[in-house]
Amino acid sequence: MRDGSKTKELITATALRLFVEKGITETTIRDIAGAAGVAEGTLYCHYDSKDALAWDLFIANYLAFAGELDRVQEERLTVKTKLEAMIHKFCQFFDEDQVMFSYLLLSQHAQLKKVTPEMTTPVSVLLDVVAAGIARDEIPGQEPQAATAMVLGVVLQVAVFKVYGRIQPSLTSLADQLTAACWRVLEV
Amino acid sequence: MRDGSKTKELITATALRLFVEKGITETTIRDIAGAAGVAEGTLYCHYDSKDALAWDLFIANYLAFAGELDRVQEERLTVKTKLEAMIHKFCQFFDEDQVMFSYLLLSQHAQLKKVTPEMTTPVSVLLDVVAAGIARDEIPGQEPQAATAMVLGVVLQVAVFKVYGRIQPSLTSLADQLTAACWRVLEV
Amino acid sequence: MRDGSKTKELITATALRLFVEKGITETTIRDIAGAAGVAEGTLYCHYDSKDALAWDLFIANYLAFAGELDRVQEERLTVKTKLEAMIHKFCQFFDEDQVMFSYLLLSQHAQLKKVTPEMTTPVSVLLDVVAAGIARDEIPGQEPQAATAMVLGVVLQVAVFKVYGRIQPSLTSLADQLTAACWRVLEV
Amino acid sequence: MRDGSKTKELITATALRLFVEKGITETTIRDIAGAAGVAEGTLYCHYDSKDALAWDLFIANYLAFAGELDRVQEERLTVKTKLEAMIHKFCQFFDEDQVMFSYLLLSQHAQLKKVTPEMTTPVSVLLDVVAAGIARDEIPGQEPQAATAMVLGVVLQVAVFKVYGRIQPSLTSLADQLTAACWRVLEV
DNA sequence: TATGAATGAGACTTCATTCAT
DNA sequence: CATGAATGAAGTCTCATTCAT
């Protein structure tokens, strides 16, 4: 109540958790306010609307993650090491903040309509690396979109299985295994 | 007006399309009835509730697809051919009824809470095949859940990219390529 | 299905039972049709509407009962014997058809708006007898309406208690006791 | 807008009036909100549902009235004076708040299913007094339930006739007369 | 007469949002 | 900034009634 930013963070974190637990549409303002211990109106001191909250939560973190992916790939020279670094980053993100990772995953479909093509997203970063790898012949010639999809699928579906409790070990501990698998996928 | 099953099919098909276009929660009874050209109350002649409609639509087709997957894998002897047949089936299903495939994909997360463990699902069929392959040493020793996730991810994410228009060719035409990729994934 | 009047009686009897069990508004056409084993539309072959059914059921039996009360009182000469005969009739009606008696009791309030003053009702018959008794000095001078209310209350409330299971013996076996009590009430 | 309890009282009083005028089922949320001059949703700031409103309105006042009856009977020593005091209380309640009295009367049947046996109700208070009177030989030996029903009937049916406009004087002015009649009823 | 799928008005309820305090 | 009562549009669902067969 003293520091407004504390309240905002509280609301944001609570909303994130509930969005993942119940879904965005299924989570009401009352749910969030109640779980955060603030009044319903308070939310509107920090966000214009529920949609704005969901969007902010999505896009800020989606782009930030894309930025991190981009940074780690830029620090590597070969496609193989770029891919390795990116997958490690994926796994690290998942392990450090599974709730946020899940949120990006599940809200992706709904929010993607509002993502403009010029934005740098995790997918576009991965696609650029894969496409460059093919262009530079570090990866056998193939359709970049399909190749990207397969690599992305390997990582994301393992994350989904982890969320569902089908997989026990941390993703980080599986990162090398995932990288190897992805690399084999790309070797045509 | 005479044949109730025609009306039911009309409602079902309309609902399926709208659910995929706008999302389940975002699709209203009025949307469905309006698009199907029937009265709102008519929906309740055939389904107990909107949730029941969404669930019926999901589970009937989810289980039917699982059944088809199971049938084709049973007709093959080796894990490799089983996998190949299943992936072809995946691609065929996608190409023949992309709307339904998309619906199963997007509603999976929400409806999965109501799926009981004894049900045979597409995931459980794939998992069984992979696990058996590992047990029989047709696939190198590894964690079956993780292996299943990776294979599933390859196929599903390519389907997602296809839905988003990132990929042009039909999935069926990519089936062999996907099978090869999945097999490389499993070769440790 | 062969004889229409059988179907009508079936519907009528079923409706009566459900109206008493659940209340008129709370009983749906579907309830009645389902319990009677006929289609929903069939009801409209015999009654114009649900309200018409409820009203017919009420007024026919309300007036018929009034007619019986009137008949038995006319066959007696003194107010005391008239009252005795009427109360016996009340009790007999209750014991013979508790469901119908209950229906008249509970729907009275709602249907009474449609009862016109010139109709001969159970209340008007009782009132006439009491008023005549006062006029003829067979009952001490008093306000006829209040006197009628008290007599009616004694009988009806005992019936209500019987319906609620608070009273065991049949009303008929209590008729003399009720008559005596009513008579004492009227003796100012 | 500031003081919520004012709004709640307004809604409650409006609902009470309409419930009595038209019946509970026949009164819609829109009716209540419109007559109270609030939005429809406002009702749900104060009550969980329409049923909860009807129930609260019933049980709070039903039990409060039972409490008052119990209090006045406890202040008297003999059954005769207890009965006299209770009937006066009945009449006073009716004259002071005929709408509430009518509501308790008409909703009694529907709400009684939710009344548990351990609750002290107006009927149970009266029954206890009558039963005690019989036990103490202040009233001739008889079945307490039937005796209670008759006394209750005398008072309630006069109230009903008053509601219907058949009786002009206030119930309070008739209280002594009613008490005398009830007493005669009990004298076997 | 009987059927029952279809109708559509309208009931109850939810919930994002506002605003006076 | 925070509050929370109030709002009212919109959603789901019910149900008396119709009508083609």
pLDDT for C3? 60
CB C184 within 8 A of CB D187: yes
Q: What is the rounded radius of gyration, in angstroms, for the C-alpha atoms of chain A?
A: 18
Q: What is the DSSP letter of B182?
A: H
Share of chain B above pLDDT 70, in %: 98
Rounded Cα–Cα distance for residues D104 and D99 (Å): 9
CB contact under 8 A, B167 and A177: no
Structure-token pair, residue C186: 């009227």
Chains touching A, CB cut-off 8 Å, 3+ pairs = B
Residue C153: what pLDDT? Answer: 98
Q: How far apart are CA A87 and CA A152, in angstroms?
A: 9
Q: What is the pLDDT of residue B154?
A: 98
DSSP string, C94-132: HHH-HHHHHHHHHHHHHHGGG--TTS--HHHHHHHHHHH
For residue A164, the chain B residues in CB contact (below 8 A) are 112
The distance (Å) linking the CA of C34 with the C1' of F8 is 38
The set of strand F positions with any atom below 7 Å of a protein CB reads 1-21
CA max distance for chain B: 59
> What pLDDT is stored for residue D5 in this prediction?
82
pLDDT score of A2 more than 80: no
What percent of chain A is predicted at pLDDT more than 70? 98
* pLDDT score of A22 more than 60: yes
Residues 4-43 of chain C within 7 A of strand F, judged by CB, are 27-30, 40-41, 43
Residue with CA nearest F8 C1'?
D39
**Contact indicator for B105, B48 with CB cutoff of 8 Å:** no
Strand F and D41 CB separated by under 7 Å: yes
- Fold agreement (C1-47, C50-187): no
Residue whose entry in the numeric block shows the structure tokens 């509430």: D100
Q: Tens of pLDDT along D6-18?
A: 999 999 999 999 9
- Tell me the CATH number for domain D1-47: 1.10.10.60
Pairwise CA distance, residues D87 & D127, whole Å: 13
How close, in Å, is residue B8 to chain A by CA atoms?
A: 27
CA dihedral A81, A86, A89, A93 (to 10 degrees): -170
Domain edges within chain C: 1-47, 50-187
C110 inside 8 A of chain D by CB = yes
C-beta of residue B155 within 8 angstroms of C-beta of residue B178: yes
Distance from CA of B2 to the nearest CA of A (A): 38
What is the pLDDT, as a whole number, of residue C188?
Answer: 81
Per DSSP, helices labelled H in chain D are 4-22, 29-36, 43-46, 50-74, 79-96, 98-111, 122-135, 144-163, 171-186
Among chain C residues 22-41, those with CB within 7 Å of any atom of strand E: 38-41
- Sequence-distant (6+) residues with CB within 8 A of D84 are D76, D176, D179
Q: What does the pLDDT look like over B94-149, one tens digit per residue?
A: 999 999 999 999 999 999 999 999 999 999 999 999 999 999 999 999 999 999 99
Encoded tokens for A105: 């995953």
Tokens linked to D188: 């076997």
Label residue D2 by pLDDT band (50, 70, 90).
low
Assigned CATH topology for domain B50-187? Tetracycline Repressor; domain 2 (1.10.357)
CA of D115 to C1' of E7 (A): 40
The CA radius of gyration of chain C, in Å to the nearest whole number, is: 18
Burial classification of residue C48, based on how many CB atoms lie within 10 Å of its CB (0-12 exposed, 13-18 middle, 19 or more buried): exposed
Amino acid A1: pLDDT: 45
Other CB atoms within a 10 A radius of the CB of residue D132 amount to 15
| C-contacting residues in D 26-55 (Cβ below 8 Å) | 26
C-beta atoms of A161 and B184 within 8 A: no
Closest nt by CA–C1' to D44 = E13
Question: Does the pLDDT value for residue B4 go beyond 80?
Answer: no
Largest CA distance in chain D: 59
Share of chain D above pLDDT 90, in %: 97
Q: Nearest residue to F15, CA vs C1'?
A: C28
A67 neighbors A41 (Cβ within 8 angstroms): no
Contacts of D175 in chain C (CB under 8 A): none
Predicted pLDDT of residue B5: 81
Residues 43-82 of C with CB under 7 A from strand E: 44-46
Q: Which residue spans within A1-112 are E strands per DSSP?
A: none
Residues 80-109 of A with CB under 8 A from B: 106, 109
Q: Give pTM, 2 decimals.
A: 0.93
Residue-wise pLDDT tens for chain C (188 aa)?
456 689 999 999 999 999 999 999 999 999 999 999 999 999 999 999 999 999 999 999 999 999 999 999 999 999 999 999 999 999 999 999 999 999 999 999 999 999 999 999 999 999 999 999 999 999 999 999 999 999 999 999 999 999 999 999 999 999 999 999 999 999 98
Q: Is the confidence at residue D3, as pLDDT, over 70?
A: no
Question: Residue C110 and residue D23: Cβ atoms within 8 Å?
Answer: yes
Residue B9 pLDDT > 60: yes
Mutate which of D163, D185, D186 to test chain C, going by most C C-beta atoms within 10 A? D185
Q: Which residues contact A63 (CB under 8 A, 6 or more apart)?
A: A119, A120, A121
Q: DSSP character for D112?
A: G
Smallest CA–CA separation between B1 and chain A, in Å?
35
Q: Which of residues 7-26 of A touch strand F (CB under 7 A)?
A: 7-8
Q: In Å, how far is A40's CA from the nearest CA of chain B? A: 23
pLDDT digits over D19-59, tens only? 999 999 999 999 999 999 999 999 999 999 999 999 999 99
Residue C107 identity: S
B173–A contact, CB cutoff 8 A: no
Nearest nucleotide relative to D26: CA against C1' = E11
D20 touches chain C (CB under 8 A): no
Note whether A153 contacts B148, CB cutoff 8 Å.
no
Q: Identify nearest nucleotide to residue D42 by CA to C1′ distance.
A: F6
D26 CB and strand E closer than 7 A = no
Closest by CA position to B177, among listed B152, B154, B161: B154
Cα–Cα separations (whole angstroms), residue A50 to A46, B22, C151: 10, 18, 66
pLDDT tens-digit map of B134-148: 999 999 999 999 999
pLDDT reading at D1 higher than 70: no
Token pair 């919520």: residue: D4
Taking only the tens place, the pLDDT of each residue in A78-117 is 999 999 999 999 999 999 999 999 999 999 999 999 999 9
Average pLDDT over residues A26-35: 98
B41 sits within 7 Å of strand F by its CB:
yes
Select from C26, C153, C184 the Cβ nearest to the Cβ of D157.
C153
Positive or negative, the Cα torsion across D125, D131, D133, D135? negative
- The alpha carbon of residue D188 is apart from the nearest alpha carbon of chain C, in Å, by 7
**Token pair listed for B129:** 């095949």
Chain C, chain D: beta-carbon pairs less than 8 Å apart: 90
